[in-house]
A and B are shown apart, each in its own frame.
Chain A
Amino acid sequence: MTNRMQGLESACKEYEEDLVLHYYGENSEDDRRRIAQHLSACERCRVFVDDLRRVLPQMAKAEEMPQSFWDSYYRETVAKLAEQEERKYWWRSWLTPVRGWMVPAFGTLAGTVLVVGLLFGKGNLGSFVERPSRNIPQEITADSNQLEFFSTMDLLESLDKLEQQDGTQSELQKTHSSRVTLYKGIA
């Protein structure tokens, strides 16, 4: 069986890299001359370059897609871009309904609600201001009494005062008891 495929021949080792660059036209002018000179004398390297010319373009052959594919590709990409932009500025969608004409509309609505509220609430406005004390729950009243109690505790500001007060009282008691003893003695 004859194989239709022909592989790449090996080239002279020291020239191989230069031959690849030569195929791609990426050699300097000096290298190009040197390679051309070598190729004219070396059959192996000539075959190598011929193989590159035969094989590499076939590998690079791009799939040709129909025009409809590219049209669809373009449309999809533009749509994806728009979607990406939409996601990027998602907060704009919140502001979008607030258009120019909606500002006075909301203002009018708010004004109307206020006027209606005042009209129907007229004469009953005091109920919002003056709250009857009887409505205050007992627990709160009890708490307020406790607060009054605690306000008298302001006198006892510190332990020092307490101790001082305590010391003065004991001295007074001593004085008092000594006076009582004295009076008893006199009597």
Chain B
Amino acid sequence: MIEPQNIGDEELVALCQQGQKDYFEILIRRYMEKAFHIAFNFTRDTETAKDLSQDAFLRAFANIKHFDGRSSFYTWFYRIVVNLCLDHARRRGRVSWQSLDDMGDEPGVQQQLADVTFAPDQEAMAGEAKRKADATLEAMPKKQRTAFLLRNHQGLPIADVARVMKTTEGTVRVYLHRAVAALRQSLVEFV
């Protein structure tokens, strides 16, 4: 007998569509970390990221019957998460890119930050540079930022990024290059 954890996404989705909605909980377990991290990359706030990513699961569940399987579940789901994050940013007028230093107020996070140790040559993104990079990301056009976050932070192949963003791979390559170029420009003063 196949363990529920070993069932593929498409099969789980099909089971949910047939009314066996308990299987959706396996999808939650499978994608909760990724969903949270995408939302966190966009919002830089733990609570907001949690709310947005949970909301994405609720929406995915509510619309699971409309999922037609033309794309993979995770592409479809990533799109929901990203759209929610962009909507949230639009509502707020701007994305709040809280710096790592500011997050130190939260005890749990503070401990985690204390546990992170960089080798001297890996401290490149520490402190001011990290804030600068985050500010640059914030100022980027949303499509560039989305393409960069999905490829760089989430590790999605460009083909999948294109599917999530409903654009061509060529366009994603351009977004990615522009995003990296913008980051290079912003970090040049730290040389």
Contact = CB atoms under 8 A, between A and B. Distances in A.
Interface of A: 3-10, 16-17, 20-21, 24, 26, 51-52, 54-56, 58-66, 69-70, 73-74, 76-78, 80-81, 84-85, 88
Contact of A6 (B24, B46, B124): B124
B127 A8 contact: no
Nearest to B179: A20
A61 B155 CA distance: 11
Nearest to B169: A26
Contacts, number: 124
B36 A17 contact: no
Nearest to A11: B184
Interface on chain A toward B: helix, strand, loop, or mixed SS? helix
8 A-B pairs closest in CB distance: A58-B125, A8-B184, A5-B190, A7-B187, A5-B129, A17-B177, A7-B191, A60-B153
A62 B112 contact: no
A8 B187 contact: yes
Interface residues of B, number: 51
B40 A63 contact: yes
Contact of A5 (B33, B126, B158, B180): B126
A20 B99 CA distance: 26
Contact of A77 (B28, B33, B40, B129): B28
8 contacts: A6-B190, A7-B184, A7-B191, A56-B180, A59-B183, A63-B46, A63-B112, A74-B28
Contacts of B40: 62-63
Contacts of B24: 81
B124 A5 contact: yes
B177 A73 contact: no
A21 B158 CA distance: 9
A145 B94 CA distance: 81
Interface SS of chain B: helix
Interface string B165-185: 000000001101100110110
B124 A20 contact: no
B124 A52 contact: no
Contacts of B153: 59-60, 62
A24 B151 contact: yes
A17 B153 CA distance: 19
Contact of A62 (B37, B58, B127): B37
Nearest to A76: B54
A8 B188 contact: yes
Contacts of A5: 123-129, 187, 190
A76 B50 CA distance: 10
A60 B37 CA distance: 10
A24 B158 contact: yes
Contact of A16 (B58, B61, B130, B177): B177
A84 B61 contact: yes
Contacts of B123: 4-5
Contacts of B121: 54
Contacts of B32: 70, 73-74, 77
A92 to B, nearest CB: 15
Nearest to B29: A74
A9 B190 CA distance: 11
- Give the most central of B46, B54, B122, B155: most A CB within 10 Å: B54
